[in-house]
Amino acid sequence: MIAALGKYAGAVLWSYAASIALILALVGLSLWRAAKVRRALQAVENRQARDE
Amino acid sequence: MSLWEYANPKKFMQASGLVLPWVTGLATLLLIIGLIWGFFFTPEAVNFGSSVKIIYLHVPAALMAINAWLMMLVASLIWLVRRHHVSALAARAAAPVGVTMTLIALVTGAIWGQPMWGTWWAWDPRLTSFLILFLFYLGYIALWQAIEDPDTAADLTSILCLVGSVFAILSRYAVNFWNQGLHQGASLSLDKETNVADVYYLPLLVCIAGFVLLFLSLVLLRTRTEIRARRLQALLARERAA
């Protein structure tokens, strides 16, 4: 099926590769930051609960 | 029950926690179906050859680039008028998603333009207004980062958002306003004459639905993170004060 792309194969494949890479990077960074902030908040909440 | 109840961070966290997995799952499903359908199961176009397959990324991304800014505009207005923190944080959360959509639209447009127009870039009204919108996104994100006081940051970024909305609307209607340049008119229209053929239209609708839900899913996730980050800052400030 990729062979059916003909002379525009490069343009089509690069478009898909670049877009999917950008979306995955955005999703990955969003999940990474979400996990990091959630862990940090949990640690502070636990610490403050212990101290009170 | 009023919509304003969700301006309460606790209520927003509860509701978004329930909705998020469903929106994310549906977004993933629609994107997989739409992109596979568009890439593997649509024919070449008479005038564009197989490059027509780029439409399944370019059009939804361009649509969401503009709509993300408009969503930020609504959230910013809510902040300016009613001072709901969740709306300011939602606007902040949407900006990186919007900038990525704008970048996808610009990159796929350039890759498509090279073989079709013989150039990667032209100072065409729509392309130029999209580039300005991209720069507005970067400025908006930088402004949030640059100002320490969150309320001042929300105020100033909201004003920037109002100004940038001119370019968001301009990038949507640039082709109609100037009626010149390389970029063609809208691919989707209620007018059957100007709409893309049905064989491309249906997978395109699926991809657009996928991008809309992806945007929603990421904005919910990122708003939740911003709310947690705000609470974390408040708790740390209380610790320091004690």
Q: Summarize pLDDT for B145-177 with one digit per residue, the tens.
A: 999 999 999 999 999 999 999 888 887 776 666
Report whether B111 contacts B103 (CB < 8 A).
no
Q: Give the CA-trace dihedral at B195, B99, B28, B222, to 10 degrees.
A: -140
pLDDT at A19 exceeding the cut of 60: yes
Contact B51 A8 (CB under 8 A): yes
pLDDT at B65 exceeding the cut of 70: yes
Contact A34 B221 (CB under 8 A): yes
pLDDT at B150: 93
Separation between Cα atoms, residue B13 and residue B25, nearest integer Å: 19
* Complex-level ipTM beyond the 0.95 threshold: no
pLDDT at B191: 58
Min Cα distance B66 → chain A (Å) is 17
Name the DSSP letter for residue B179.
-
pLDDT at B90 exceeding the cut of 70: yes
Contact B111 A14 (CB under 8 A): yes
Report whether B203 contacts B134 (CB < 8 A).
no
* Listed residue (B102, B151, B148) closest to B127, CA to CA: B102
Token pair of B194, please? Answer: 């100007």
CA dist A3 → A13, B115, B196, B232 (Å): 11, 18, 24, 53
pLDDT at B225 exceeding the cut of 90: yes
Contact B104 A23 (CB under 8 A): yes
pLDDT at A48 exceeding the cut of 90: no
What global pTM score does this model have? 0.91
Residue A52: other Cβ atoms inside 10 A? 5
pLDDT at B176: 66
- H or E segment to which residue A17 belongs: helix A9-51
Contact A19 B107 (CB under 8 A): yes
Identify the weakest region by mean pLDDT among A40-49, B9-18, B124-133, B217-226: B124-133
pLDDT at A6: 86
Whether B224 and chain A come into contact, CB under 8 Å, resolves to: yes
> For the segment B184-198, what is each residue's pLDDT rounded down to a tens digit?
666 655 555 556 777
pLDDT at A17: 97
pLDDT at B170: 80
Name the DSSP letter for residue B124.
-
At B175, phi and psi to the nearest 5?
Answer: -65, -40
pLDDT at B135: 96
pLDDT at A1 exceeding the cut of 60: no
pLDDT at B45: 83
As a whole number, the mean pLDDT across chain B is: 90
B 97-126 residues with CB below 8 A of A?
Answer: 97, 100, 103-104, 107-108, 111-112, 114-115
pLDDT at B49: 86
Once rounded to an integer, what is the mean pLDDT over residues B24-41?
96
By percentage, how much of chain B surpasses pLDDT 70?
90
pLDDT at B38: 93
Min Cα distance B228 → chain A (Å) is 7
Contact A34 B225 (CB under 8 A): yes
Separation between Cα atoms, residue B66 and residue B85, nearest integer Å: 23
Domain boundaries, given as residue ranges, for chain A: 18-52
At B37, phi and psi to the nearest 5?
Answer: -60, -50
